[in-house]
Structure 1
């Protein structure tokens, strides 16, 4: 694909302290931009990262037509660049776009655009286990009109941010019994920007109680566990691993489905089924609840140290060997080209 490239005159990379990065606050020299107008996607361009101009009436500001993906690029010891299951990312981006009445992005633009952008900004991808380049592809509605209807114009953009190993500290969560992340028939399964905005307020209330995140429950009854913050969630009762099935409320996490497959590969008993809050409370009371952990692109696997549900609190036991650390190591070894990839998840750029 012929992608027009406008390089920066001087890279800003020398001004970046790669040993002290705040997640998502430093961006590489370039970004990819592709416009949709007159019913078709135009040729993408790679331009210097910087401010963009939109009219105040751009539909994204008024009706929230915005979807995104979260990905990472990794560099192995030989300097080769890899992505992890990028085919799943473009599939999910387009599924999200469809739900918000936005046009599908041609896969060629996504894959080739990423490839050329990563090769151009290759110096921003540092070697070393835990170092990566976080990738944020997104689509926004740009037509200047405030009538309540889908936009006719869109922009697809990819920005990149160098990242280190993500460590959120000790995480304790509140199990939701009032607020909901998503409802049946809604957009919970889509990576729609508004899904995240609606979580900020109840999460801020959890922070005031000394908790870092929320385990979301079903909107109808608040009886069933669904997701943890912005991550899918796994429960270990005894030696059995359990996670909720995806539906139109739950994001089809790429890390989640990879963990499910790795559990099967390693003969770990795993069930994908609905999980009642009462079941988890009962397991905790009996001392059978061994682990809770979230899964997602940024942290890969994030252990949860304790939880609260109404007047019930529980601290997870300290274990010498955990499923959380097992799966994180397995996944990262695949991502960094340190182990065999029998499923073809690792894609060389």
Structure 2
């Protein structure tokens, strides 16, 4: 099986913004893009993206999960990066059209079609470091993916980092490549030094997120996670899990969580921790490294609450449970 996100469908949907308006989208070969070497995105990082999935149900129908929220977040990212405004109807149609184009190629559950809308500033102007790009490209790539847990779930080891940040505080809620790039070196150092899978960024002792996922602490029937602000990504999977948890009668506490409280609660036998994101939905966290000490979270294995929450979300995505929240868009 190829690595997640390395196989692409041969065509994509693409639209250009120029002369103050969006041009009509078209289906184009997905193996190349033509960009001027002075394109704004290449020099000043005017680029953002989204990640969502389409799922095939038992009757052969295909459904996109939380399309509206991903489009809304991409509009927000584009606005905060001073990119041309993304037209909601245009982007929704581009996503639906390309998924419909490759409808027969959507894998059966637990596989899915990963969808990657991307928006980049293309204006060839290297003198515009303090000005917005007036030209851009919006395109939608598709990547068929298999079961993220094909080899079985393995609880992750996180390094608790209290000095550094994943990205600049005012940039956290933007889904931009620059934020992921800024987290790479700390993650690589944590892997080399501690054998950690990821870094849990906790600037000044405030538990935020890892380099690529939101963090959830599950203590009994309570989920604790940082309240939304501009410093970290407003995950759509995070929101989905919290919504399901409330519906199941769990207590959801969106509030500040300190490292001290995290470490204290983590050592309770029934405590669980997990990372939420589009790829894996919920990935269990088995241990935390803090001040060169390893703290086991609960039993160190995946807990029943994590399993139950992930299963509930998967069942909605796969059409095995009623979509009472209106999260699925049929293509």
* TM-score scaled by length of structure 1: 0.89
Q: Alpha-carbon deviation of 1:216? A: 1.1
Which residue does 2:260 correspond to in 1?
278
Counterparts in 2 of 1:107-186, with a 5 A limit?
107-127=88-108, 129-147=109-127, 148=129, 149-167=131-149, 169-184=154-169, 186=170
Cα distance in 1 between the residues matched to 2:300 and 2:200: 21
Gaps of 5+ in 2: none
Cα distance in 2 between the residues matched to 1:290 and 1:51: 47
Cα distance in 2 between the residues matched to 1:130 and 1:64: 35
User: Residues 7-40 of structure 1: CA distance to partner in whole angstroms, max 9, x if unpaired?
Assistant: xxxxxxxxxxxxx231111100210110000111
Change (3 A) 1:51 1:319: closer
User: Residues 220-269 of structure 1: CA distance to partner in whole angstroms, max 9, x if unpaired?
Assistant: x2x11011231111102233211111110111111111111111111112
Q: Alpha-carbon deviation of 1:318? A: 5.0
Q: Give 2:6's match in structure 1, choosing from 16, 25, 30.
A: 25
**Greater mean deviation of Cα atoms: 64-73 or 235-244:** 235-244
Q: Alpha-carbon deviation of 1:123? A: 2.5
Question: Is the 2:166–2:210 contact (alpha carbons within 8 Å) kept by the matching residues of 1?
Answer: no
Cα distance in 1 between the residues matched to 2:155 and 2:195: 11
SS state at 1:25 partner = coil
Q: Alpha-carbon deviation of 1:60? A: 0.7
Q: Alpha-carbon deviation of 1:126? A: 1.6
User: Residues 179-207 of structure 1: CA distance to partner in whole angstroms, max 9, x if unpaired?
Assistant: 211343x2110101100110110000011
Which residue does 1:265 correspond to in 2?
247
Q: Alpha-carbon deviation of 1:321? A: 5.1
Q: Give 1:70's match in structure 2, choosing from 14, 31, 51.
A: 51
* TM-score scaled by length of structure 2: 0.94
Q: Give 1:58's match in structure 2, choosing from 31, 35, 39.
A: 39
Gaps of 5+ in 1: 1-19
Cα distance in 1 between the residues matched to 2:302 and 2:115: 34
Instruction: Number of aligned residue pairs: give it.
Output: 324
